[in-house]
Structure 1
């Protein structure tokens, strides 16, 4: 059986930051497992893009996707690594005690963790960024530095067992670095 990689997301997760890693893990021979707060309905993903007449990004409905497991039921020992996509989902997922437990357990075990866009907000809330370097969507740099990390504007910032990136347009380098961490 292939090693499993956990992807934590939820409603408002960025479509390209969920589905690209999902398919990339399959391509590399891993079994991706999507975890959300619930499994009784599909997750509503979104698409973020940029428009010349907006000061920030725009948001449109993306694909819906089923969760394979509820976050509260995750046993970290079952997984080789963790992926935390961005979008708006991390804004509320970072408040869930089970999400924070899972992230801390992955980190304590030294397992690879990949986060992008707004995903590092969860890493900050979990208290695992102190003394590390971390990328993310530029607007979350205060969250990163407030958690004791150095914010880096990069497409695949590796710091110990973490690899972080700015957004979906960094998916290739970000997932390439994560796969190297997975071995």
Structure 2
């Protein structure tokens, strides 16, 4: 069983956040949710409606939080997931988030990003030379951060697994679970 840290905050996309938490738990892993504080985060639902050029946003469920970013000891976890939505926009500037995310990248541990999730490692310079997916309008931002952008549902670069958004979650989850299980059996 792996311990997987999920970094999120208010305005994270509901499916991007809850689906991985439930899938990890279903797979026998421990999913631990961290946010700026320990109060439940308010999730949002992003949808694609006819006549709109961009996605729409509606209030979603609340997601219980296990611990605040400042209390995270990254060495206690085997993998990291960063869901999308608007939360990555602001959590990427948090010093504790930087400390946590660098830990996983520096050690080559599994990292999953969904939709806007790659904004966090991109802001830290951790996508330079890497291949990633993300919400397609982020392509320029991710390429400016030194990444090669792939418009795909389950892009695997070493121990990093990324996707475009919630419609890709079945493919992303299969790929992430494979990377996680491979890392769990490695010496």
TM-score with structure 1 length normalisation? 0.96
What 5-or-longer segments of structure 2 have no aligned partner? 182-187
Identify the residue that residue 58 of structure 2 maps to in structure 1: 60
Instruction: Give the structure 1 partner of residue 184 of structure 2.
Output: none
Alpha carbons 1:100, 1:125 under 8 Å: kept: no
Structure 2 counterpart of 1:112, from 110, 113, 116 = 110
Please list, as runs of the form range in 1=range in 2, the aligned pairs for 1:25-104 lying within 5 A after superposition.
25-39=24-38, 41-104=39-102
Mapped partners of 2:141, 2:94: distance in 1: 17
1:3 positional shift: 2.5
Aligned residues: 181
Gaps of 5+ in 1: none
CA RMSD of aligned residues (A): 0.8
Map of 1:132 onto structure 2: 130
Question: For residues 141 and 120 of structure 2, what CA distance do their matches in structure 1 show?
Answer: 10
Shift of 1:88: 0.4
Give yes or no for contact 1:35–1:71 (8 Å, CA) kept in 2: yes
d(CA) in 2 for partners of 1:53, 1:131: 37
